Structure 1
Amino acid sequence: MSLPTRVARGFVDPFENITREFDVLNRIFNSGQSNGARLAPYGVDIREDGDTLVVEAELPGFRKEEVDITLENQTLTISAEKKEERRDEKKGDYLLNERRYSRFLRSFTLPPTVDEKTVNARLEDGVLTVSLNKREETKPRKIAVG
């Protein structure tokens, strides 16, 4: 038995759909930002093993002083902000200046198994690694067969 299919009547312009989708993305990535601010599109990976939860975030070009990590109510927030560098008159005028300002902001809800007291973070080669230990009572353990 085949299911009935819905047939669209009328002409649908594919370019209109693409334009609409790009407009939506543009609003998402540029909302609430002024003065050339851009939300940096860097990737994040989260992995888990028996004892830890590891968050790795790409932050190329950011220094550790520009990165802020908070953990509150099982929510991990990573933010980084790179301000505009002051122009040096001796270096000349810019012909192209795209590195004015960038910002990274991501939040993650952590599982209740994470121990909020033991968190380690390091920034190396443009990758921020945040390691969160699990609470002792939630770690997997071996049970001997008797």
Structure 2
Amino acid sequence: MALPTDPASSWMQGLGFPSRIFDDAGTDYELYEEDDEFVLTVELPGFDREEIDLAWDNGVLNIAAEHADEERGRKRTYHRRFRFPKDVDEAEISASYTNGILEVTLPVETEAAAHGTAIPIEG
């Protein structure tokens, strides 16, 4: 008897468990563009506002956070970089942190075009 190789036909099927345990569908952020600005929300539960560092560097937003739990002798860290396809007005970037959710608003520069070079399509 062969073992099933298809995740949908795994032995967990019908037990109410996901067929793939390490599924990357549950991201910790949401990014969308609305009204000429990007809005990024990141779930950072358990961090204090002072433990979160934001930096804008040439089209890339860096988010880093570190929380030390001295009682348990543990340290939690978070680091992620986001590159944006349009020019952002860096002087107008704003951020807030409420109830474990970091929200960053990045206004797109007026008349900004997407980065990159147009590639002609032959045919």
Query: TM-score, length-normalised on structure 2?
Result: 0.65
Structure 2 residue aligned with 1:109: 83
Rounded to whole Å, the distance in 1 between the matches of 2:4 and 2:98 is 47
Give the drift of 1:12.
8.5
The structure number with the bigger radius of gyration is: 1
Structure 2 residue aligned with 1:44: 29
Give the drift of 1:112.
2.7
Percent identity between matched residues is: 32
Rounded to whole Å, the distance in 1 between the matches of 2:31 and 2:79 is 15
Deviations 1:18-48 (A, max 9, x none): xxxxxxx8xxxxxxxxxxxxxxx96011011
2:75 is aligned with 1:75: no
Structure 2 residue aligned with 1:127: 101
Q: Which amino acid aligns with 2:43?
A: E
Indicate if the aligned counterparts of 1:77 and 1:108 stay in contact, CA closer than 8 A.
yes
Deviations 1:77-121 (A, max 9, x none): 111110132x4xxxxxxxxx5x82211111011123321221001
Rounded to whole Å, the distance in 2 between the matches of 1:112 and 1:138 is 6
Across the aligned residues of Structure 1 and Structure 2, the Cα RMSD in angstroms comes to 2.5
Structure 2 residue aligned with 1:118: 92
Indicate if the aligned counterparts of 1:46 and 1:56 stay in contact, CA closer than 8 A.
yes
Give the drift of 1:137.
2.3
Query: TM-score, length-normalised on structure 1?
Result: 0.56
Indicate if the aligned counterparts of 2:54 and 2:63 stay in contact, CA closer than 8 A.
yes
Structure 2 residue aligned with 1:100: 74
Rounded to whole Å, the distance in 1 between the matches of 2:83 and 2:65 is 18
Q: Which has the higher strand share?
A: 2
Indicate if the aligned counterparts of 1:42 and 1:59 stay in contact, CA closer than 8 A.
no
Secondary structure in 2 matching 1:76: strand
Aligned residue pairs total 93
